[in-house]
Amino acid sequence: MRFANYDSRFTRCLLLLAVILGAGTINVSAARIGDISETDIVGQAVRFFTFQDPAVRYALIGSMLLGISCGLLGSFIVVRKMALVGDALSHAVLPGVALGFLWNMTKDPVAILVGATLAGLIGAATVTLIKQTTRLKEDAALGLVLASFFAMGICLVTMIQRLPTGNKSGIDKFLFGQAAALGPDDVRLMAIVTAGAIAAITIFYKEFLVTSFDAAFARVAGFPAQVIHYALMLLLAFAVVIALQAVGVVLVSAMLITPAAAAYLLTDRMSRMLWLSAIFGMVAGATGAFFSFLGPKLPTGPFMVLGATSVFVLAFLFGPRHGVIVRWLRQRSRARRVQRENTLKSVYHVLEARDFKGEGVSLRELAERRRETIEDVKEQASNLRSNGLVSLHDEGDVIFLTPAGWQLACAIVRNHRLWELYLTNAAQIAADHVHEDAEKIEHVLGEETVRQLEKRLAGMTTDPHGKPIPTLADIRQGTGFSERPTEPTGYGKR
């Protein structure tokens, strides 16, 4: 149990380290493309934030638009477990981009949109074809199509760059992305596609939701699940294509997956996930546009993706419900509670061993009982005191249970012995097999379960080892405390 926890924590640490390292290496290679130190960073930053430069405006608006559309559609991709499909689709569009460029030898956004969308759809159809006609499963088919289409695209792009004629500027930007290369026509197209995606998701939210969650049920309810699926794919292809120029083919799938994945960790509702994902995408887009603007020839895509990854890491660490840190804190507080309860139980055992004569338990007695050092026991005692379960006397050497401490000690011992009794009686487990189990169960038994156990075991007063089970009266009467609660607060109640 403890090892398993340790193990998973270790894996998490490794994962985090890998993320940081990964971020580092990408940064290094990005720095090589254009050296930041040679340029006036402050001057560029001022230029960026004043928005005087139309190029800055186009880059920023375009990047934020693509963040929104990718974030929205990415959310559906993630909950439909189609992240790989997004990846394959984004690579498959490259040959279409090149052919769109070849159409009239300029970077005409519409021609490129048409070409890329067609290539994406052909890629998707190829995956389906491979799946249906061979024994290959979806992952292999996706990998195949992704790589082959991407290779084809690279060949075409290289060929275009070697052509003697025509305006070749910009085609190379489709690999790693350059937001600064966005023009007014590009941004207009991005705005149209993003508006279309927002409209489609708002209008057909119910349809997208039910087909994503339970396609068979949606079909019986009369919704054309297949049509909705293809509509989503088409929107996805559009989102990928408009993002290409700023993010680049290589990384565009990360803009689909990362903001949505971060949002998925933070909320349990689809509508909130869509909002969060769109906002994260927008923030990541703006971050990428800003950093790539700081130096000449800095690619935008990697910065955007790193921005999105930072959001994801924050969600991963600090998410209020599923976050690693919250889970760690929760686990630690549980471990501390168990520790407290075990110490109280030992105090009870010491008292029981001398027939509850005298209330005080010295640290030495407790240390012997727990087979621990005085220092350890002292620390536990002060922890108990700060929780109001014991009071310390004689310079902290003698422990007195408070009424609350006595109740909790009785409850834990009672839980332990009831459970042992239940296991030997009802589950026919040998008496020497039940202690270890009860050591764990005693801390988790809820009030209702204890009542059921009592009912089943009514009339039995000792555990399988012959020790008396503390009764309700014991809990009430204690060992002669002056102030006592009139009613038991219940067992296992926290």
Residues that bind another protein (CB under 8 A): 79, 81, 203-204, 206-207, 209-210, 212-214, 216-223, 264, 267-270, 272-273
Minimum separation from the CB atom of position 75 to another protein (A):
9
Residues listed for the chain: 494
Between 217 and 230, whose beta carbon lies closer to another protein? 217
DSSP state string for 429-466 = --GGGSHHHHHHHTTT--HHHHHHHHHHTTT--B-TTS
Run of H or E residues at 392: strand 390-393
CB neighbours of residue 409 within 10 Å? 26
Task: Give least dist CB 307 to another protein, A.
Answer: 23
**Both tokens assigned to 458:** 């009514």
Check residue 468 and report its DSSP letter. B
Q: Which of 85, 226, 69 is nearest to 143 (CA)?
A: 85
Q: Which is nearer to another protein, 33 or 210 (CB)?
A: 210
CB of 361 to another protein, least distance (A): 41
Least CB distance to another protein at residue 330 (A)? 15
Nearer to another protein, 225 or 411 (CB): 225
| Greatest Cα pair distance in the chain | 103
Please state at what angle helix 54-79 crosses helix 205-213, rounded to 10 degrees. Answer: 40
Distance CA 20, CA 2 (A): 27
Q: Which amino acid is at 297?
A: K
Helix axis angle for 94-104 and 138-162, nearest 10°, is: 30
Closest CB 90 distance from another protein, rounded Å: 23
Residue 157 or 274: the one with the smaller Cβ distance to another protein is: 274
Cβ atoms of residues 177 and 299 within 8 Å: yes
* Minimum CB–partner distance for residue 165 and another protein (Å): 50
Q: Which CB atom, from 62 or from 86, has the smaller least distance to another protein?
A: 86
Q: Three-state SS for 236?
A: helix
Identify which of residues 215 and 338 has a Cβ nearer to another protein in the complex: 215
d(CA 311, CA 276): 11
Q: Choose between 159 and 203: whose C-beta lies nearer to another protein.
A: 203
Smallest distance from another protein to CB 287, Å = 25
Nearest approach, Cβ of 208 to another protein (angstroms)? 12
What residues form DSSP beta bridges with 398?
362, 393
Exposure of 45 by Cβ count < 10 A (0-12 exposed, 13-18 middle, 19+ buried)? middle
Cα–Cα dist 362/400, whole Å: 9
- Taking the C-alpha atoms of residue 474 and residue 210, their distance in angstroms, rounded to an integer, is 56
Smaller CB distance to another protein: residue 268 or 395?
A: 268
Q: How far is the CB of 47 from another protein (least distance, A)?
A: 41
Handedness of CA 209, 64, 259, 96 (dihedral sign): positive
Q: CB 206 → another protein: shortest distance, Å? A: 6
Closer Cβ to another protein, 211 or 253, answer by number = 211
Amino acid type, 34:
G
Residues contacting residue 276 through CB under 8 Å, at least 6 positions apart: 259, 262, 263, 266, 267
Strand order in the sheet with 361-362: 361-362, 398-401, 390-393
269 vs 494, which CB is nearer to another protein?
269
